[in-house]
Structure 1
Protein backbone atom coordinates (compact mmCIF):
# COMPACT_ATOMS: atom_id res chain seq x y z
CA UNK A 1 0.00 0.00 0.00
CA UNK A 2 1.05 3.56 -0.66
CA UNK A 3 -0.64 6.95 -1.03
CA UNK A 4 -1.54 7.57 -4.67
CA UNK A 5 -4.29 10.14 -4.09
CA UNK A 6 -3.98 12.85 -1.44
CA UNK A 7 -6.63 15.44 -0.55
CA UNK A 8 -5.58 18.57 1.32
CA UNK A 9 -8.08 20.98 2.85
CA UNK A 10 -7.28 24.63 2.11
CA UNK A 11 -8.84 27.74 3.59
CA UNK A 12 -8.04 31.37 4.33
CA UNK A 13 -6.11 30.70 7.53
CA UNK A 14 -2.43 31.48 7.98
CA UNK A 15 -1.79 27.73 8.14
CA UNK A 16 -3.16 26.94 4.68
CA UNK A 17 0.12 27.65 2.87
CA UNK A 18 2.39 25.46 5.06
CA UNK A 19 -0.29 22.74 5.00
CA UNK A 20 -0.26 22.84 1.20
CA UNK A 21 3.55 22.74 1.15
CA UNK A 22 3.48 19.58 3.30
CA UNK A 23 0.86 17.99 1.05
CA UNK A 24 2.96 18.83 -2.00
CA UNK A 25 6.07 17.24 -0.48
CA UNK A 26 4.15 14.07 0.38
CA UNK A 27 2.56 13.91 -3.07
CA UNK A 28 6.01 14.13 -4.62
CA UNK A 29 7.46 11.59 -2.18
CA UNK A 30 4.75 9.00 -2.81
CA UNK A 31 4.09 9.81 -6.47
CA UNK A 32 0.53 10.84 -5.64
CA UNK A 33 -2.14 12.94 -7.31
CA UNK A 34 -2.87 15.98 -5.13
CA UNK A 35 -6.35 17.49 -4.84
CA UNK A 36 -6.68 20.85 -3.11
CA UNK A 37 -10.16 21.32 -1.68
CA UNK A 38 -10.88 24.96 -0.91
CA UNK A 39 -13.68 25.09 1.67
CA UNK A 40 -14.33 27.90 4.14
CA UNK A 41 -16.99 28.76 6.69
CA UNK A 42 -20.44 29.14 5.12
CA UNK A 43 -22.77 31.38 7.20
CA UNK A 44 -26.46 30.66 7.57
CA UNK A 45 -28.25 32.13 4.50
CA UNK A 46 -30.37 34.39 6.72
CA UNK A 47 -27.29 35.81 8.44
CA UNK A 48 -25.60 36.15 5.07
CA UNK A 49 -28.51 38.23 3.78
CA UNK A 50 -28.23 40.63 6.72
CA UNK A 51 -24.43 40.89 6.52
CA UNK A 52 -24.38 41.40 2.76
CA UNK A 53 -25.88 44.88 3.13
CA UNK A 54 -22.98 46.22 5.18
CA UNK A 55 -19.93 47.93 3.73
CA UNK A 56 -17.64 46.06 6.13
CA UNK A 57 -18.91 42.72 4.88
CA UNK A 58 -18.45 43.70 1.23
CA UNK A 59 -14.87 44.80 1.89
CA UNK A 60 -14.15 41.59 3.80
CA UNK A 61 -15.58 39.43 1.02
CA UNK A 62 -13.56 41.24 -1.61
CA UNK A 63 -10.39 40.64 0.40
CA UNK A 64 -11.24 36.96 0.81
CA UNK A 65 -11.82 36.58 -2.95
CA UNK A 66 -8.45 38.17 -3.67
CA UNK A 67 -6.72 35.85 -1.20
CA UNK A 68 -8.56 32.85 -2.64
CA UNK A 69 -7.37 33.77 -6.14
CA UNK A 70 -3.79 34.15 -4.92
CA UNK A 71 -3.95 30.76 -3.19
CA UNK A 72 -5.33 29.08 -6.30
CA UNK A 73 -2.60 30.59 -8.50
CA UNK A 74 0.03 29.46 -5.99
CA UNK A 75 -1.46 25.97 -5.95
CA UNK A 76 -1.21 25.55 -9.73
CA UNK A 77 2.24 27.17 -9.93
CA UNK A 78 3.72 24.96 -7.20
CA UNK A 79 2.21 21.79 -8.71
CA UNK A 80 3.80 22.66 -12.04
CA UNK A 81 7.15 23.44 -10.43
CA UNK A 82 7.17 20.18 -8.45
CA UNK A 83 5.88 18.21 -11.46
CA UNK A 84 3.01 16.81 -9.39
CA UNK A 85 -0.35 15.97 -10.93
CA UNK A 86 -3.29 17.59 -9.20
CA UNK A 87 -6.45 19.64 -9.30
CA UNK A 88 -8.07 22.53 -7.45
CA UNK A 89 -11.67 22.16 -6.27
CA UNK A 90 -13.52 25.09 -4.68
CA UNK A 91 -16.77 24.16 -2.98
CA UNK A 92 -19.68 26.26 -1.75
CA UNK A 93 -21.19 23.55 0.43
CA UNK A 94 -20.17 23.38 4.11
CA UNK A 95 -16.66 22.04 4.65
CA UNK A 96 -17.94 19.43 7.12
CA UNK A 97 -19.86 17.82 4.25
CA UNK A 98 -17.65 18.55 1.23
CA UNK A 99 -14.23 17.55 2.55
CA UNK A 100 -15.22 14.12 3.94
CA UNK A 101 -17.15 13.37 0.74
CA UNK A 102 -14.23 14.25 -1.56
CA UNK A 103 -11.79 12.60 0.83
CA UNK A 104 -13.48 9.22 0.52
CA UNK A 105 -11.89 8.89 -2.92
CA UNK A 106 -8.39 9.48 -1.52
CA UNK A 107 -5.75 7.44 0.26
CA UNK A 108 -4.92 10.23 2.71
CA UNK A 109 -6.60 13.46 3.84
CA UNK A 110 -4.54 16.35 5.20
CA UNK A 111 -6.24 18.99 7.35
CA UNK A 112 -5.41 21.36 10.19
CA UNK A 113 -6.16 21.66 13.86
CA UNK A 114 -8.53 24.46 14.85
CA UNK A 115 -6.57 27.59 15.81
CA UNK A 116 -8.40 29.73 18.40
CA UNK A 117 -6.18 32.68 17.48
CA UNK A 118 -7.07 32.64 13.78
CA UNK A 119 -10.79 33.10 12.96
CA UNK A 120 -10.19 32.05 9.35
CA UNK A 121 -9.24 28.55 10.52
CA UNK A 122 -12.83 28.01 11.66
CA UNK A 123 -14.80 26.21 8.93
CA UNK A 124 -17.49 24.70 11.15
CA UNK A 125 -18.06 23.16 14.56
CA UNK A 126 -15.92 20.08 15.25
CA UNK A 127 -14.53 19.96 11.73
CA UNK A 128 -11.46 17.77 12.47
CA UNK A 129 -13.54 15.41 14.61
CA UNK A 130 -16.21 15.08 11.95
CA UNK A 131 -13.59 14.49 9.26
CA UNK A 132 -12.01 11.63 11.22
CA UNK A 133 -15.34 10.03 12.07
CA UNK A 134 -17.12 10.35 8.73
CA UNK A 135 -14.55 10.18 5.94
CA UNK A 136 -13.55 6.54 6.31
CA UNK A 137 -9.97 7.51 5.43
CA UNK A 138 -6.81 8.26 7.44
CA UNK A 139 -6.61 11.94 8.38
CA UNK A 140 -3.25 13.67 8.90
CA UNK A 141 -3.85 16.68 11.16
CA UNK A 142 -1.30 19.47 11.38
CA UNK A 143 -1.12 21.33 14.72
CA UNK A 144 -1.32 25.11 14.63
CA UNK A 145 1.56 25.37 17.11
CA UNK A 146 4.40 23.12 16.00
CA UNK A 147 7.86 23.41 14.47
CA UNK A 148 7.43 20.13 12.55
CA UNK A 149 7.07 20.83 8.84
CA UNK A 150 7.98 17.45 7.37
CA UNK A 151 6.70 14.61 9.60
CA UNK A 152 7.66 10.98 9.29
CA UNK A 153 11.32 10.62 10.31
CA UNK A 154 10.40 9.15 13.72
CA UNK A 155 6.89 7.71 13.87
CA UNK A 156 5.27 6.92 17.22
CA UNK A 157 2.23 4.64 17.35
CA UNK A 158 -0.18 4.81 20.29
CA UNK A 159 -1.21 1.16 20.51
CA UNK A 160 -4.04 -0.38 22.55
CA UNK A 161 -5.05 -3.34 20.39
CA UNK A 162 -8.36 -1.78 19.34
CA UNK A 163 -9.99 -1.87 15.91
CA UNK A 164 -9.30 1.85 15.46
CA UNK A 165 -5.63 1.52 16.37
CA UNK A 166 -5.27 -1.47 14.03
CA UNK A 167 -6.78 0.56 11.20
CA UNK A 168 -4.42 3.47 11.93
CA UNK A 169 -1.32 1.24 11.92
CA UNK A 170 -2.12 -0.18 8.51
CA UNK A 171 -3.11 3.23 7.14
CA UNK A 172 0.24 4.66 8.28
CA UNK A 173 2.46 1.94 6.79
CA UNK A 174 3.71 4.18 3.94
CA UNK A 175 5.02 6.65 6.54
CA UNK A 176 6.55 3.89 8.66
CA UNK A 177 8.33 2.25 5.73
CA UNK A 178 9.95 5.59 4.91
CA UNK A 179 10.77 6.47 8.53
CA UNK A 180 14.13 5.97 10.18
CA UNK A 181 12.43 4.62 13.32
CA UNK A 182 8.94 3.60 14.42
CA UNK A 183 8.18 3.26 18.13
CA UNK A 184 5.12 1.33 19.34
CA UNK A 185 3.97 2.79 22.66
CA UNK A 186 1.47 1.20 25.02
CA UNK A 187 0.19 3.07 28.07
CA UNK A 188 -0.60 0.85 31.03
CA UNK A 189 -2.80 1.81 33.97
CA UNK A 190 -3.95 5.24 32.79
CA UNK A 191 -7.54 6.37 32.78
CA UNK A 192 -8.65 3.49 35.00
CA UNK A 193 -8.29 1.13 32.02
CA UNK A 194 -8.83 -2.45 33.18
CA UNK A 195 -9.42 -4.43 29.99
CA UNK A 196 -6.42 -6.39 28.74
CA UNK A 197 -4.39 -4.77 25.97
CA UNK A 198 -2.79 -6.58 23.06
CA UNK A 199 0.98 -6.57 23.62
CA UNK A 200 2.85 -4.05 21.49
CA UNK A 201 5.36 -6.76 20.46
CA UNK A 202 2.68 -8.55 18.43
CA UNK A 203 1.84 -5.58 16.19
CA UNK A 204 5.54 -4.69 16.02
CA UNK A 205 6.24 -8.12 14.51
CA UNK A 206 3.65 -7.49 11.81
CA UNK A 207 5.08 -4.04 11.06
CA UNK A 208 8.65 -5.38 10.91
CA UNK A 209 7.61 -7.80 8.18
CA UNK A 210 6.85 -4.74 6.06
CA UNK A 211 10.50 -3.69 6.30
CA UNK A 212 9.95 -1.18 9.11
CA UNK A 213 12.63 -0.48 11.71
CA UNK A 214 10.44 -0.82 14.81
CA UNK A 215 10.86 -0.86 18.58
CA UNK A 216 8.39 -1.29 21.44
CA UNK A 217 8.00 0.81 24.57
CA UNK A 218 5.58 0.15 27.44
CA UNK A 219 5.00 3.06 29.78
CA UNK A 220 3.26 3.07 33.13
CA UNK A 221 0.84 5.80 34.20
CA UNK A 222 -1.29 6.31 37.27
CA UNK A 223 -4.99 5.52 37.30
CA UNK A 224 -5.81 9.24 37.27
CA UNK A 225 -3.45 10.01 34.39
CA UNK A 226 -4.68 11.01 30.94
CA UNK A 227 -3.74 8.62 28.14
CA UNK A 228 -3.68 11.53 25.70
CA UNK A 229 -1.29 13.53 27.87
CA UNK A 230 0.89 10.46 28.38
CA UNK A 231 1.16 9.94 24.61
CA UNK A 232 2.01 13.59 23.94
CA UNK A 233 4.62 13.57 26.70
CA UNK A 234 6.17 10.39 25.32
CA UNK A 235 6.20 11.76 21.77
CA UNK A 236 8.10 14.80 23.01
CA UNK A 237 10.47 12.70 25.08
CA UNK A 238 11.57 10.42 22.24
CA UNK A 239 11.58 13.15 19.58
CA UNK A 240 8.77 11.70 17.48
CA UNK A 241 7.58 13.93 14.63
CA UNK A 242 4.42 11.95 13.77
CA UNK A 243 1.90 10.34 16.13
CA UNK A 244 -0.29 7.53 14.77
CA UNK A 245 -3.39 6.45 16.70
CA UNK A 246 -6.99 5.40 16.44
CA UNK A 247 -9.69 8.05 16.55
CA UNK A 248 -12.44 7.12 18.99
CA UNK A 249 -15.94 8.53 19.15
CA UNK A 250 -19.60 8.13 18.33
CA UNK A 251 -22.64 10.18 17.48
CA UNK A 252 -25.23 10.76 20.22
CA UNK A 253 -28.33 12.37 18.78
CA UNK A 254 -26.91 15.46 17.09
CA UNK A 255 -23.83 15.56 19.31
CA UNK A 256 -20.42 14.15 18.41
CA UNK A 257 -18.85 12.51 21.46
CA UNK A 258 -15.12 11.82 21.24
CA UNK A 259 -13.09 9.48 23.42
CA UNK A 260 -10.94 11.01 26.15
CA UNK A 261 -7.53 10.37 24.57
CA UNK A 262 -8.77 11.47 21.13
CA UNK A 263 -10.23 14.67 22.56
CA UNK A 264 -7.01 15.49 24.42
CA UNK A 265 -4.84 14.94 21.34
CA UNK A 266 -7.09 17.03 19.09
CA UNK A 267 -7.04 19.91 21.57
CA UNK A 268 -3.39 19.79 22.63
CA UNK A 269 -1.41 18.15 19.82
CA UNK A 270 2.17 19.33 19.48
CA UNK A 271 3.19 17.08 16.58
CA UNK A 272 1.29 16.04 13.43
CA UNK A 273 -1.18 13.25 14.13
CA UNK A 274 -2.48 10.58 11.77
CA UNK A 275 -5.82 9.26 12.98
CA UNK A 276 -8.09 6.55 11.61
CA UNK A 277 -11.52 5.52 12.82
Structure 2
Protein backbone atom coordinates (compact mmCIF):
# COMPACT_ATOMS: atom_id res chain seq x y z
CA UNK A 1 0.00 0.00 0.00
CA UNK A 2 1.17 3.50 -0.85
CA UNK A 3 -0.31 6.98 -1.09
CA UNK A 4 -1.27 7.04 -4.76
CA UNK A 5 -3.78 9.89 -4.44
CA UNK A 6 -2.94 12.76 -2.09
CA UNK A 7 -5.36 15.66 -1.69
CA UNK A 8 -4.02 18.82 -0.10
CA UNK A 9 -6.45 21.50 0.99
CA UNK A 10 -5.53 24.95 -0.27
CA UNK A 11 -6.95 28.08 1.31
CA UNK A 12 -6.10 31.79 1.31
CA UNK A 13 -3.43 31.53 4.02
CA UNK A 14 0.26 31.91 3.02
CA UNK A 15 1.15 28.89 5.17
CA UNK A 16 -0.40 26.68 2.48
CA UNK A 17 3.12 26.37 1.04
CA UNK A 18 4.14 24.14 3.96
CA UNK A 19 1.27 21.76 3.19
CA UNK A 20 2.08 21.77 -0.51
CA UNK A 21 5.72 20.96 0.10
CA UNK A 22 4.82 18.03 2.35
CA UNK A 23 2.29 16.70 -0.18
CA UNK A 24 4.75 16.88 -3.07
CA UNK A 25 7.60 15.33 -1.07
CA UNK A 26 5.37 12.44 -0.04
CA UNK A 27 4.16 11.91 -3.60
CA UNK A 28 7.75 11.86 -4.83
CA UNK A 29 8.47 9.00 -2.39
CA UNK A 30 5.30 7.00 -2.98
CA UNK A 31 4.71 7.61 -6.68
CA UNK A 32 1.54 9.46 -5.82
CA UNK A 33 -0.64 11.98 -7.61
CA UNK A 34 -1.21 15.32 -5.85
CA UNK A 35 -4.52 17.17 -6.08
CA UNK A 36 -4.47 20.78 -4.93
CA UNK A 37 -8.02 21.58 -3.84
CA UNK A 38 -8.90 25.24 -3.35
CA UNK A 39 -12.00 25.23 -1.18
CA UNK A 40 -13.17 28.05 1.05
CA UNK A 41 -16.35 29.25 2.70
CA UNK A 42 -18.56 31.97 1.30
CA UNK A 43 -18.15 35.51 2.58
CA UNK A 44 -20.82 35.98 5.31
CA UNK A 45 -23.33 38.76 4.78
CA UNK A 46 -23.97 41.23 7.64
CA UNK A 47 -27.50 41.06 8.97
CA UNK A 48 -27.95 44.78 8.60
CA UNK A 49 -27.17 44.74 4.89
CA UNK A 50 -30.16 45.55 2.69
CA UNK A 51 -30.81 44.11 -0.76
CA UNK A 52 -28.73 46.74 -2.56
CA UNK A 53 -25.84 46.42 -0.14
CA UNK A 54 -26.08 42.63 -0.23
CA UNK A 55 -25.66 42.56 -4.00
CA UNK A 56 -22.61 44.80 -3.80
CA UNK A 57 -21.09 42.75 -1.00
CA UNK A 58 -21.66 39.51 -2.87
CA UNK A 59 -19.98 40.90 -5.98
CA UNK A 60 -17.06 42.23 -3.96
CA UNK A 61 -16.74 38.89 -2.16
CA UNK A 62 -16.75 36.98 -5.45
CA UNK A 63 -14.02 39.23 -6.84
CA UNK A 64 -11.91 38.71 -3.74
CA UNK A 65 -12.34 34.95 -3.96
CA UNK A 66 -11.42 34.90 -7.64
CA UNK A 67 -8.26 36.85 -6.86
CA UNK A 68 -7.41 34.58 -3.91
CA UNK A 69 -8.01 31.50 -6.04
CA UNK A 70 -5.78 32.77 -8.86
CA UNK A 71 -3.02 33.58 -6.39
CA UNK A 72 -3.30 30.15 -4.76
CA UNK A 73 -3.22 28.41 -8.13
CA UNK A 74 -0.04 30.26 -9.06
CA UNK A 75 1.54 29.15 -5.77
CA UNK A 76 0.48 25.55 -6.41
CA UNK A 77 1.84 25.52 -9.95
CA UNK A 78 5.15 27.02 -8.84
CA UNK A 79 5.50 24.41 -6.09
CA UNK A 80 4.58 21.54 -8.42
CA UNK A 81 7.16 22.74 -10.95
CA UNK A 82 9.84 21.94 -8.39
CA UNK A 83 8.82 18.27 -8.62
CA UNK A 84 8.67 17.53 -12.37
CA UNK A 85 8.38 13.78 -11.79
CA UNK A 86 5.25 14.14 -9.63
CA UNK A 87 1.89 14.25 -11.39
CA UNK A 88 -0.49 16.90 -10.07
CA UNK A 89 -3.69 18.73 -10.81
CA UNK A 90 -5.57 21.79 -9.61
CA UNK A 91 -9.20 21.84 -8.52
CA UNK A 92 -11.59 24.51 -7.30
CA UNK A 93 -14.83 23.98 -5.44
CA UNK A 94 -17.13 26.72 -4.21
CA UNK A 95 -19.63 24.52 -2.38
CA UNK A 96 -18.07 25.21 1.01
CA UNK A 97 -14.76 24.08 2.49
CA UNK A 98 -15.95 21.16 4.63
CA UNK A 99 -18.31 19.73 2.02
CA UNK A 100 -15.80 20.01 -0.82
CA UNK A 101 -12.85 18.58 1.07
CA UNK A 102 -14.90 15.75 2.58
CA UNK A 103 -16.06 14.71 -0.88
CA UNK A 104 -12.57 14.72 -2.37
CA UNK A 105 -11.21 12.82 0.63
CA UNK A 106 -13.42 9.84 -0.21
CA UNK A 107 -11.31 9.15 -3.27
CA UNK A 108 -7.90 9.78 -1.73
CA UNK A 109 -5.36 7.72 0.19
CA UNK A 110 -4.29 10.73 2.25
CA UNK A 111 -5.85 14.11 3.04
CA UNK A 112 -3.61 17.01 4.10
CA UNK A 113 -4.98 20.08 5.88
CA UNK A 114 -3.81 22.75 8.31
CA UNK A 115 -4.16 23.35 12.02
CA UNK A 116 -6.24 26.43 12.75
CA UNK A 117 -4.19 29.48 13.68
CA UNK A 118 -5.90 31.37 16.53
CA UNK A 119 -5.81 35.16 16.70
CA UNK A 120 -4.45 35.41 13.17
CA UNK A 121 -4.82 38.65 11.23
CA UNK A 122 -4.95 36.64 8.00
CA UNK A 123 -8.33 35.43 6.80
CA UNK A 124 -7.84 31.89 5.47
CA UNK A 125 -11.48 31.84 4.31
CA UNK A 126 -12.31 28.72 6.30
CA UNK A 127 -13.95 28.44 9.68
CA UNK A 128 -12.04 28.05 12.94
CA UNK A 129 -13.48 24.55 13.43
CA UNK A 130 -12.80 23.36 9.89
CA UNK A 131 -10.02 20.88 10.73
CA UNK A 132 -11.90 19.55 13.77
CA UNK A 133 -15.05 18.97 11.75
CA UNK A 134 -13.06 17.45 8.91
CA UNK A 135 -11.35 14.74 10.96
CA UNK A 136 -14.71 13.63 12.34
CA UNK A 137 -16.35 13.71 8.90
CA UNK A 138 -13.98 11.55 6.84
CA UNK A 139 -12.54 8.05 7.04
CA UNK A 140 -9.45 8.87 4.98
CA UNK A 141 -6.25 9.39 7.03
CA UNK A 142 -5.86 13.10 7.75
CA UNK A 143 -2.42 14.66 8.03
CA UNK A 144 -2.62 17.93 9.94
CA UNK A 145 0.21 20.43 9.52
CA UNK A 146 0.86 22.92 12.36
CA UNK A 147 0.38 26.59 11.58
CA UNK A 148 3.91 27.37 12.77
CA UNK A 149 7.28 25.74 12.22
CA UNK A 150 9.37 24.23 9.46
CA UNK A 151 9.16 20.52 8.68
CA UNK A 152 12.19 19.47 6.71
CA UNK A 153 11.60 15.82 7.58
CA UNK A 154 8.38 13.88 7.93
CA UNK A 155 8.02 10.32 9.11
CA UNK A 156 11.65 9.59 9.91
CA UNK A 157 11.01 9.48 13.67
CA UNK A 158 7.43 8.49 14.40
CA UNK A 159 5.47 8.34 17.63
CA UNK A 160 2.43 6.05 17.48
CA UNK A 161 0.18 6.86 20.44
CA UNK A 162 -1.44 3.50 21.08
CA UNK A 163 -4.54 2.75 23.15
CA UNK A 164 -5.89 -0.37 21.36
CA UNK A 165 -8.90 1.54 20.02
CA UNK A 166 -10.36 1.15 16.51
CA UNK A 167 -9.42 4.77 15.84
CA UNK A 168 -5.78 4.18 16.73
CA UNK A 169 -5.69 1.04 14.60
CA UNK A 170 -7.12 2.92 11.61
CA UNK A 171 -4.48 5.62 12.11
CA UNK A 172 -1.67 3.04 12.31
CA UNK A 173 -2.93 1.30 9.17
CA UNK A 174 -3.34 4.60 7.36
CA UNK A 175 0.21 5.57 8.28
CA UNK A 176 1.82 2.35 6.96
CA UNK A 177 3.37 4.01 3.88
CA UNK A 178 5.21 6.31 6.30
CA UNK A 179 5.91 3.73 9.00
CA UNK A 180 7.54 1.30 6.58
CA UNK A 181 9.96 4.05 5.53
CA UNK A 182 10.65 5.42 9.02
CA UNK A 183 14.04 5.14 10.67
CA UNK A 184 12.52 4.97 14.15
CA UNK A 185 8.98 4.05 15.22
CA UNK A 186 8.03 4.37 18.88
CA UNK A 187 4.80 2.67 19.93
CA UNK A 188 3.89 4.41 23.16
CA UNK A 189 1.08 3.26 25.44
CA UNK A 190 -0.14 5.86 27.91
CA UNK A 191 -1.75 4.86 31.23
CA UNK A 192 -2.15 1.22 30.17
CA UNK A 193 -3.22 0.22 33.68
CA UNK A 194 -6.43 2.23 33.36
CA UNK A 195 -7.77 -0.15 30.69
CA UNK A 196 -5.90 -3.46 31.10
CA UNK A 197 -8.50 -5.55 29.27
CA UNK A 198 -7.90 -3.60 26.07
CA UNK A 199 -4.15 -4.11 26.10
CA UNK A 200 -3.62 -7.64 27.41
CA UNK A 201 -0.64 -8.79 29.39
CA UNK A 202 1.90 -6.86 27.29
CA UNK A 203 0.53 -3.44 26.24
CA UNK A 204 1.61 -2.57 22.73
CA UNK A 205 2.84 -6.08 21.87
CA UNK A 206 -0.04 -6.94 19.50
CA UNK A 207 0.21 -3.77 17.40
CA UNK A 208 4.00 -4.10 17.25
CA UNK A 209 3.66 -7.65 15.93
CA UNK A 210 1.06 -6.48 13.43
CA UNK A 211 3.39 -3.74 12.21
CA UNK A 212 6.36 -6.11 12.00
CA UNK A 213 4.50 -8.22 9.44
CA UNK A 214 4.42 -5.09 7.28
CA UNK A 215 8.15 -4.60 7.67
CA UNK A 216 7.92 -1.95 10.39
CA UNK A 217 10.50 -2.20 13.16
CA UNK A 218 8.96 -0.58 16.22
CA UNK A 219 9.92 -0.18 19.86
CA UNK A 220 7.29 -0.33 22.60
CA UNK A 221 7.24 1.76 25.75
CA UNK A 222 4.75 2.69 28.43
CA UNK A 223 4.28 6.18 29.81
CA UNK A 224 2.28 7.74 32.59
CA UNK A 225 0.37 10.95 32.06
CA UNK A 226 0.13 13.73 34.61
CA UNK A 227 -3.37 13.77 36.07
CA UNK A 228 -4.71 11.86 33.09
CA UNK A 229 -3.77 14.52 30.52
CA UNK A 230 -2.95 12.20 27.62
CA UNK A 231 -2.72 15.00 25.06
CA UNK A 232 0.04 16.80 26.95
CA UNK A 233 1.78 13.48 27.60
CA UNK A 234 1.85 12.75 23.85
CA UNK A 235 3.31 16.15 23.04
CA UNK A 236 5.88 15.88 25.81
CA UNK A 237 6.97 12.42 24.69
CA UNK A 238 7.19 13.58 21.07
CA UNK A 239 9.45 16.48 22.08
CA UNK A 240 11.69 14.22 24.17
CA UNK A 241 12.09 11.74 21.31
CA UNK A 242 12.69 14.32 18.57
CA UNK A 243 9.58 13.05 16.79
CA UNK A 244 8.73 14.52 13.38
CA UNK A 245 5.33 12.79 13.07
CA UNK A 246 2.65 11.75 15.56
CA UNK A 247 0.18 9.02 14.61
CA UNK A 248 -2.97 8.67 16.71
CA UNK A 249 -6.68 8.08 16.73
CA UNK A 250 -9.08 11.01 16.74
CA UNK A 251 -11.99 10.94 19.15
CA UNK A 252 -15.19 12.91 19.15
CA UNK A 253 -18.94 12.82 18.67
CA UNK A 254 -21.85 14.92 17.53
CA UNK A 255 -23.88 16.81 20.09
CA UNK A 256 -26.72 19.19 19.25
CA UNK A 257 -25.50 19.65 15.67
CA UNK A 258 -21.99 20.39 16.88
CA UNK A 259 -19.04 18.03 16.65
CA UNK A 260 -17.20 17.74 19.94
CA UNK A 261 -13.62 16.48 20.22
CA UNK A 262 -12.31 14.28 23.00
CA UNK A 263 -9.89 15.76 25.51
CA UNK A 264 -6.60 14.40 24.15
CA UNK A 265 -7.64 15.07 20.56
CA UNK A 266 -8.52 18.67 21.38
CA UNK A 267 -5.19 19.21 23.13
CA UNK A 268 -3.34 17.98 20.05
CA UNK A 269 -5.43 20.17 17.76
CA UNK A 270 -4.67 23.23 19.85
CA UNK A 271 -1.01 22.62 20.69
CA UNK A 272 0.60 20.39 18.03
CA UNK A 273 4.19 21.22 17.17
CA UNK A 274 4.80 18.54 14.53
CA UNK A 275 2.51 17.10 11.84
CA UNK A 276 -0.10 14.66 13.15
CA UNK A 277 -1.72 11.84 11.19
CA UNK A 278 -5.17 11.06 12.56
CA UNK A 279 -8.09 8.78 11.81
CA UNK A 280 -11.55 8.77 13.38
Judge conservation of contact 2:18–2:150 (CA < 8 Å) in 1: no
Q: Deviations over 1:109-157 (max 9, x none)?
A: 0000001124423502421112111121000000112332431110100
Q: Which of residues 219, 242, 262 is equivalent to 2:265?
A: 262
Give the equivalent residue in structure 2 for 1:85.
Answer: 87
Judge conservation of contact 1:243–1:274 (CA < 8 Å) in 2: yes
Task: Write the distance in 2 (CA, Å) between the matches of 1:98 and 1:113.
Answer: 18
* Offset at residue 74 of structure 1 (A): 3.3
Give secondary structure in 2 for the equivalent of 1:120.
Answer: coil
Give the equivalent residue in structure 2 for 1:21.
Answer: 21
CA RMSD in angstroms comes to: 2.4
Task: State how 1:93-108 maps to structure 2 within 5 Å.
Answer: 93-108=95-110
Give the equivalent residue in structure 2 for 1:31.
Answer: 31
Task: Write the distance in 2 (CA, Å) between the matches of 1:78 and 1:115.
Answer: 23
Task: Write the distance in 2 (CA, Å) between the matches of 1:106 and 1:118.
Answer: 32
* Offset at residue 22 of structure 1 (A): 1.2
Aligned residues: 272
Judge conservation of contact 1:156–1:243 (CA < 8 Å) in 2: yes
Q: Deviations over 1:49-93 (max 9, x none)?
A: 746636xx94x8656543432321332343344122121111111
Is 1:244 matched up with 2:247?
Answer: yes
Q: TM-score, normalised by structure 2?
A: 0.89
Is 1:208 matched up with 2:212?
Answer: yes
User: Does the C-alpha gap of structure 1 residues 121 and 67 become closer, same or farther in structure 2, counting only changes over 3 Å?
Assistant: closer
Deviates more, 1:17-26 or 1:115-124: 115-124
* Offset at residue 38 of structure 1 (A): 0.2
Deviates more, 1:213-222 or 1:115-124: 115-124
Task: Write the distance in 2 (CA, Å) between the matches of 1:179 and 1:236.
Answer: 17
Give the equivalent residue in structure 1 for 2:140.
Answer: 137
Judge conservation of contact 2:136–2:259 (CA < 8 Å) in 1: no
User: Does the C-alpha gap of structure 1 residues 22 and 206 become closer, same or farther in structure 2, counting only changes over 3 Å?
Assistant: same
User: Does the C-alpha gap of structure 1 residues 70 and 217 become closer, same or farther in structure 2, counting only changes over 3 Å?
Assistant: same
